[in-house]
């Protein structure tokens, strides 16, 4: 073990970023993860888009006006933000930082531009890209969801292709053909990430120092 070995702080939680085109099923996979991994903490984003039917303030999103959203940006309250189609989306910073510091893993479900900004600030984060079984299937899923206008569907499909082009920046890619399978793959990734050698260095160094 050399003195310049990279170490990860094992007392800090892991930041997981989950991206993937609109309609790929990130929300469904996250809902399944919530059940199967209750210790994983979900970051609730702020957005200027209108709530969809059934969405709850503070659970699905913090719904903001454009002025309120701009105020958050001006006050450095967001870890990252991005414009997606016609709306703004951003990750509240304080919550993520406090939760990681408390040792819990945090998952962000965000689009690619925002994920790339997070990567600059948290290169040690774990970046997972969720893929649809095919682009046709993706379009079917957005249409079947019934929440988007024809124009929004077209925009989301265009953005989807642009997003898939950027998946090189991610550590893992998972095809969401079955929610349970995708969910257990993410759990496996997290188990492996927690076992990373670098996470153990601070503890081992402490052991060695105690023996010396
Ligand atoms: P939707 O309108 O379907 O809820 O979300 C549209 C896109 O915005 C999705 O790809 C979703 O992952 C992304 N998104 C949600 N919250 C955030 C956020 O805080 N930051 C960024 N950059 N994207 C977000």
Which residue intervals of 58-194 are DSSP H helices?
A: 66-74, 93-101, 112-121, 135-145, 150-165, 179-194
Which sign, positive or negative, has the C-alpha torsion 54, 179, 149, 92? positive
Domain membership of residue 146 (yes or no) is yes
Mean pLDDT of 27-48: 95
Give the pLDDT confidence score for residue 7 in this predicted structure: 62
Distance of alpha carbon 68 from alpha carbon 124, whole angstroms: 31
Burial of residue 8 (CB within 10 Å: 0-12, 13-18, 19+) is middle
* pLDDT 10s digits, 175-201: 999 999 999 999 999 999 999 988 888
Task: Please tell me the distance between residue 89's alpha carbon and the centre of ligand 1 in angstroms.
Answer: 6
The domain tally of the chain equals 1
Give which of 78, 76, 102, 103 is closest to 90, Cα–Cα: 78
The residue written with tokens 């095919």 in the block is: 134
* More confidently predicted of 11 and 96: 96
For ligand 1, residues with CB inside 6 Å are 22, 26, 45, 49, 80, 82, 84, 89-91, 109-111, 114
Is pTM beyond 0.75? Reply is: yes
For the chain, the residue count is 212
Could you tell me the residue range of the domain that residue 116 belongs to?
2-43+104-211
Domain membership of residue 138 (yes or no) is yes
Is residue 79 over pLDDT 70? yes
Task: Please tell me the distance between residue 91's alpha carbon and the centre of ligand 1 in angstroms.
Answer: 9
- Domain containing residue 11: CATH number: 3.40.50.300
């Amino acid at each position: 073990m050399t003195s310049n070995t990279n170490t990860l702080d094992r007392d800090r939680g892991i930041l997981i970023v989950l991206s993937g085109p609109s309609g790929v099923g990130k929300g469904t996979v996250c809902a399944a993860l919530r059940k199967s991994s209750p210790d994983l903490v979900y970051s609730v984003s702020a957005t200027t888009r209108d709530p969809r039917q059934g969405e709850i303030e503070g659970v699905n999103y913090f719904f903001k006006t454009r002025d309120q959203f701009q105020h958050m940006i001006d006050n450095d309250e967001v870890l990252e933000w991005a414009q997606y189609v016609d709306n703004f989306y951003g990750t509240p910073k304080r919550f993520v930082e406090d939760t990681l510091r408390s040792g819990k893993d945090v998952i962000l479900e965000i689009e690619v531009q925002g994920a790339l900004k997070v990567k600059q600030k948290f290169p040690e984060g774990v970046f997972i890209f969720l893929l649809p079984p095919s682009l046709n299937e993706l379009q079917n899923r957005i249409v079947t969801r019934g929440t988007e206008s024809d124009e929004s569907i077209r925009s989301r499909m265009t953005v989807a292709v642009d997003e898939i082009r950027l998946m090189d920046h991610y550590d893992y890619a998972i095809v969401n053909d079955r929610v349970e399978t995708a969910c257990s793959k993410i759990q496996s990734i997290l188990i492996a990430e927690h076992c990373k050698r670098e996470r153990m260095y601070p503890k081992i160094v402490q052991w060695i120092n105690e023996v010396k």
